[in-house]
Amino acid sequence: MTIAPLSDLAVLPGLSPVQMIGIPLALIGAVFLSLGAMYQHRGVSKVEAASGTSGAAGLNLKHLLALLSRPSWVIGTAMLGLAVVMQLSSFVFSPIIVVQPLGVVSLLLTTLLTARAIRQRLPNVKIFAVALCIIGVGAFVTVAALFAKERAISDEQVATVLVLLAVVVVVFGTAFFFLRKRFKALIYVLGAGVIYGFVATLAKITINRIQHDNFEWLTLICLVALLVATGVGGYFVQNAYASGPPDMVIAGLTVIDPIIAVGIAIAVLGEANAAPWYAFLMFVVSGAIAVTGVFVLERGQTDAEVEAVRRNAVEGRGTQDAQGHRHDTEARVIEQ
């Protein structure tokens, strides 16, 4: 009797023990993503306060240069860098439709940290919104783990992804140029989420083609497109920080981003070709639930809460409790 190698033994249909390694890596990345978002939001808020101008209509060059000298923003950027390293490491082991949605864990963590920072209880609408996001993404990743099959990526599939990315960048770039004074946090978040969904896909494509000894000019174009899209998406994220609290930004990045990435993996890369029809129905239903959670979260944000989060980021102070007493947040390890 022959014994199958470890890589061929499936813990779940479609996933081997080796491929399961990507799941804890993605979860660690989610923690870094949450912490990085909190620190970057603090840096953007402090830069706005110091300059006396809002970046809600689009951060200018002066804002961006000032961020580089703000320690909290630099620390947040470093943490986001670690999140990216963990995410890319997870791609080495697991299909994108399994590990990419796990970033939703950072939404729960960021929401709790934000509420704790301003000393406010989570309102019911926010609890409901976060629950929708987690349930939707949780169902999504469960179905994906059952039916995901990774395969070599062809030149035609790569070209399709690059064309779609070009269209997305042109659409959001045009909208930003003409409508930036009317943009709200949700629009910036949607833009960043969609673009970062392509970033994740391009990263997975690059890793996949290297693993299959297929690194040539088209793969190099993917790498360049990945860097450009990362820059564009990063700019949208910073503008989102200037327009809303960090949990709103993370909601978009951990829900919109994976839905786009998984949608591409299913429709273009064929990672779910072996899935039955009811699995696709589950993808649609669970994805709709998760996206609904993002919109409910945005609708549940009050101006008072947004201002409290911004004030806490700038001054390190909490808000008043139900009896009208002001509470200072606990001492920070870093106060920049």
325 — pLDDT class (breaks 50, 70, 90): very low
pLDDT at 150 over 80: no
Task: Say what the pLDDT of residue 7 is.
Answer: 41
- Tens-place pLDDT, residues 175-227: 777 766 666 667 788 888 888 889 888 888 888 788 777 778 888 888 889 88
Non-local CB neighbours of 288 within 8 Å, separated by 6+ positions: 136
Question: What region does 14 belong to: left with phi over 0, alpha with psi -120 to 50, or beta?
Answer: left
Q: What is the mean pLDDT of residues 258-286?
A: 82
Return the pLDDT at 336. 44
Confidence grade of residue 163 (pLDDT, cut at 50, 70, 90): very high
Give 158's contacts (C-beta < 8 A, 6+ positions apart).
205, 209, 218, 219, 222
Whole-angstrom Cα distance, residue 72 to residue 68? Answer: 10
Question: Sorting pLDDT into bands at 50, 70 and 90, what band is 41?
Answer: confident
